[in-house]
Structure 1
Amino acid sequence: MAKTLFEKIWDTHAIATTAGGSTLIAIDRVFLHERTGAAALKRMAEMGRKVRDPARVFAVMDHIVDTRIGRGDGTLMQGGEGFITETRAACCEAGITLFDVNDRDQGIVHVISPEQGIVLPGVTLVAPDSHTCTQGAFGALAWGIGSSEAEHAMVTGTLRLERPKTMRVRIHGALSPGVTAKDMILTLISQHGAGGGAGHVVEFAGEAVTALDMEARMTLCNMATEFSAMTGLIAPDAKTFEYLSGRTYAPDDFGDPYWRSLATDEGAAFDCEIAIDASAIAPMVSWGTSPEQAVPVDASVPQGPARAHDYIDLDAGARLAGTPLDAAFIGSCTNSRISDLRRAARILEGRRIAPSIRKALVVPGSLAVKRQAEAEGLDKVFEAAGFEWRMSGCSLCFYAGGEGFPEGSRVISSTNRNFEGRQGPGIRTHIASPETVAASAIAGAIADPREYAREEQAA
């Protein structure tokens, strides 16, 4: 029988079916972070339970750590240092590999897991973070879980799950210059709603998807959770194996036929299918308080929930482009990899951000990304343009009560969520691609990055 990629991974990992109809699934990798990791490990220790296989469990300091140059355990978040020191001690006690605050391989969990070759095609990987779906870009079944589930996975190597439905999103054709994977996923969510993928594993396919490099594929899968999907995934191909080859935790080679079998069979059935024309996608910018409230940058604000209009302070019919901004942010597990920084720097090179931009930050997704960017001189481009160059972390994507933007700021951001207060109390966030963030920071208002793409073409 023809199977989808998801079905192949699920069936390979299914251990048993419970009396209630759920499935016991083997878990290959668990990744913790300091926000919840110490609590989970501490509860396990109190109950006399140990990590079943420490070699399969990893942890990182990313959610609460400060991103200022010269950082240590101290944080701007009240009580944050305790999360860090307790996680360090708990990981040491449990024998878990930890990417510590200033470890050369530290970074945002969904950035460093691929960098290290921890995520691999066909594995099951879980972490107490909803954006774990990012790693589905490698053909893995990767999803976010709660802390108690993390404990169960570490102790037993399994989780009990209800089998999700399947959805295939085909994005056919080619993207226009200046349009990115971030625009692809925002288009899907805006057209089909933030709940459109609920109860499904979403496989992204089509020419526009296979044309993406691995970092762009990660951006696409990253926001599957904003579509309410259990996860997103993309079938591995030559790009996938090339990216992973030589990574610390990856196999010596991918020559075994098993790796090449990880693809949806011809004729396999999905519960739902969606088709999108890539050529019709434009640079997208969110206007409200949900990722589904996003429109092309050159469009007007549509009529939406009154609360969204009130919070974002934009009326229906208002032109989105030209909306004045106070701050700009490039970072997060969505758009903080080296290719993201290169594309933003290309727009910023030789230019300055507008005087009205009171705060502009670049937070690389890992210290490896930071080193690579500095080797290429990208940090100097950002600094010359007026951006502050930082260390790696979840800074100002996940607001933990520490650093924030000036009160009442309107921010253009490469992050993944524009919920009320997501980047701090009262902060109004417009999510977009790094290119759109860069173009908008220069203009001091929401701006179309395609103007810069046209300049490059003309040159």
Structure 2
Amino acid sequence: MSARTLYRRIVDAHVVRPLGDAGQVLLYVDRQVLNEYTSPQAFAALDAAGRSVWRPSTSVAVVDHVTPTAPERSERTMVVPDPARALQVRLMHANGERHRIAVYGMLDPRQGIEHVVASEQALVLPGMVIAAGDSHTTTHGAMGALGFGIGSSEIEHLLATQTLVYNIMRTMRVEVSGRLRPGVAAKDLVLALIQRIGADGATGHVIEYTGEAVAALGVEGRLTLCNMSVEAAARGAIVAPDDVLFEYLHGKPRAPQGRLWDQAVAAWRRLRSDDGAVFDANIAIDAGAIAPMVTWGTSPDQGATIDAAVPDPAHEPDATRRRSMVRALEYMGLQPGQRLDGLPITHAFIGSCTNSRIDDLRAAARVLRGRRVAPGVRALVVPGSTQVRAQAQAEGIAQVFAEAGFEWRQSGCSMCVAMNDDHLVAGDRCASSTNRNFEGRQGPGARTHLMSPAMVAAAAVRGAITDVRPLLSH
């Protein structure tokens, strides 16, 4: 057999049978994480057809998108006021009970954003295939697994058969040499990649991240890389498992224990691309050349370094991109040549499945310690899970946020997607650690600038988008 990429090795190990000659296969899926807003249709179709869930133990359901993030978590505060979304939550619990699927509800101590919960509970392990009804399922490639998002009809098929009809993707290697400089994070790296290759630059590909800079990242930084790879249209992203990952997984609730752990690690060490494996595309990045990134437009690829100015659409040769730039600048209320550094904000938000883990909160707290949020700025921090929140409180990080003037909230998707009470209004400008800056993503007419958690903290205290690095030097 010829040398294979890690992606192909995982896929090949999960093929039930080929389907024709067009690179389509029936793929076995090890794990599915369900959420309250994409699963009801799938369960309804399943029930209408008189089918049952074939392997309930492989699925876990998490309530996250519509969850209130009020500072107190109780039966009194965890009430979804919108009737349609409240129904989604009730259906999630009813379907879980009917089909014997574990549900992490709003009062469950394991509750959180699905892509945070899956890694901290070790629901995803190296070599697995995971699918879920959310595009950011690519996140789980940081666990040495293959993760991808699926639609509601595919969720139904997966629940009934534990398989999916799957098109084998092309592969892209992104090799990141050197080391990230102080004040530069995984979020900056992935935003720089997306800016370089475009929002469609990885269409039809699964990315494998390699190189010294990737190896130096903690698992949570790798989760950020894989999470946002979908913003370049990647259908998956992966980092080969190593000792950093094994240390992260050891002792987690769903990880193997005792002798099984040792056997698992021995097998996981063999999960890597073969020597001589050929990728369909190769991208080389110098980590040392990356500076803190900020988006200026309404697509994650419309970004620039903090020391740059808003670009002029007149200099863009591609007509489609030029039109997109013009529309983005109009929506964002910006002018060509305007400096990003110093642009005033009204809101600062730290959270989402991209940047709400404990390392993200630690990075922001380092900036905030001894400082205060600027007058006129509303700042919120929403931990990615109840467990992250508890850990931050135990470490004193929650106190740092509170003393700085941030609202310390309960876990949930919150202002990433504005499906609960956390949202902006037209004209608000938000420094955000989230993954998408689409029109209306944080609320109709709201303007979103993506950046790292540390950069959000810096913007909050300055009252304007600013370079975090000077704040870290003293």
Answer yes or no: same fold by TM over 0.5.
yes
**In 2, are the aligned partners of 1:66 and 1:76 still within 8 Å (CA)?**
no
Amino acid paired to 1:446: I
Aligned equivalents of 1:406, 1:48: Cα separation in 2: 44
1:187-206 to structure 2, matched below 5 A, reads 187-206=192-211
Q: 1:150 to 1:116 in 2, by over 3 A?
A: same
Task: Find 2:156's aligned residue among 151, 155, 158.
Answer: 151
What is the aligned partner in structure 2 of residue 24 from structure 1? Answer: 26
Mapped pair 1:5 → 2:6: yes
**In 2, are the aligned partners of 1:349 and 1:385 still within 8 Å (CA)?**
yes
What is the aligned partner in structure 2 of residue 169 from structure 1? Answer: 174
Amino acid paired to 1:392: S
**In 2, are the aligned partners of 1:37 and 1:59 still within 8 Å (CA)?**
no
Aligned equivalents of 2:306, 2:218: Cα separation in 1: 24
Offset of residue 268 of structure 1: 0.6
Task: Find 2:255's aligned residue among 237, 250, 256.
Answer: 250
* Superimposed CA distance per residue, residues 199-232 of structure 1 (whole angstroms, 9 cap, x where no aligned partner): 0000011000000000010011110100100011
Offset of residue 402 of structure 1: 3.6
What is the aligned partner in structure 1 of residue 389 from structure 2? Answer: 370
What is the aligned partner in structure 1 of residue 337 from structure 2? Answer: 317
* Superimposed CA distance per residue, residues 381-414 of structure 1 (whole angstroms, 9 cap, x where no aligned partner): 1111111011110001012264322431000000
Listed as ranges, the gaps of 5+ residues in structure 1 are: none
Amino acid paired to 1:61: V
Offset of residue 75 of structure 1: 1.7
Amino acid paired to 2:296: W
Offset of residue 41 of structure 1: 1.7
Amino acid paired to 1:70: R
What is the aligned partner in structure 2 of residue 265 from structure 1? Answer: 274
> Percent same amino acid at aligned positions?
49
**In 2, are the aligned partners of 1:74 and 1:80 still within 8 Å (CA)?**
no
Q: Give structure 1 regions of 4+ aligned residues with deviation exceeding 3 angstroms.
A: 70-73, 254-257
Q: TM-score, normalised by structure 2?
A: 0.94
* Superimposed CA distance per residue, residues 123-154 of structure 1 (whole angstroms, 9 cap, x where no aligned partner): 00001000000110011010111111011011
What is the aligned partner in structure 1 of residue 93 from structure 2? Answer: 88
Aligned equivalents of 2:428, 2:84: Cα separation in 1: 26
**In 1, are the aligned partners of 2:223 and 2:354 still within 8 Å (CA)?**
yes
What is the aligned partner in structure 2 of residue 55 from structure 1? Answer: 57
Aligned equivalents of 1:147, 1:334: Cα separation in 2: 23
1:43-442 to structure 2, matched below 5 A, reads 43-68=45-70, 69-72=72-75, 73-252=78-257, 253-256=261-264, 257-304=266-313, 305-357=325-377, 359-400=378-419, 402-442=421-461
Aligned equivalents of 2:411, 2:7: Cα separation in 1: 32
Listed as ranges, the gaps of 5+ residues in structure 2 are: 314-324
- Tell me the secondary structure at the aligned position of residue 272 of structure 2: coil
Alignment RMSD: 1.2
Aligned equivalents of 2:151, 2:83: Cα separation in 1: 23
**In 1, are the aligned partners of 2:366 and 2:472 still within 8 Å (CA)?**
no
- Tell me the secondary structure at the aligned position of residue 300 of structure 1: coil
Offset of residue 254 of structure 1: 4.0
- Tell me the secondary structure at the aligned position of residue 294 of structure 2: strand
Moved more, 332-341 or 241-250: 241-250
**In 2, are the aligned partners of 1:40 and 1:147 still within 8 Å (CA)?**
yes
* Superimposed CA distance per residue, residues 137-178 of structure 1 (whole angstroms, 9 cap, x where no aligned partner): 011010111111011011111101111000000010011100
Offset of residue 377 of structure 1: 1.5
Aligned equivalents of 1:148, 1:428: Cα separation in 2: 33
What is the aligned partner in structure 2 of residue 36 from structure 1? Answer: 38
Q: 1:111 to 1:406 in 2, by over 3 A?
A: same
Offset of residue 20 of structure 1: 5.4
**In 2, are the aligned partners of 1:77 and 1:402 still within 8 Å (CA)?**
no
**In 2, are the aligned partners of 1:194 and 1:290 still within 8 Å (CA)?**
yes
**In 2, are the aligned partners of 1:78 and 1:402 still within 8 Å (CA)?**
no
* Superimposed CA distance per residue, residues 75-108 of structure 1 (whole angstroms, 9 cap, x where no aligned partner): 2444221111111011011000111111001000
Aligned equivalents of 1:103, 1:251: Cα separation in 2: 23
Q: TM-score, normalised by structure 1?
A: 0.97
Amino acid paired to 1:448: D
Aligned equivalents of 2:382, 2:81: Cα separation in 1: 16
Aligned equivalents of 1:300, 1:123: Cα separation in 2: 43
- Tell me the secondary structure at the aligned position of residue 333 of structure 1: coil
Aligned equivalents of 1:432, 1:132: Cα separation in 2: 20
Amino acid paired to 1:6: Y
Amino acid paired to 2:263: G
Number of residue-to-residue matches in the alignment: 454
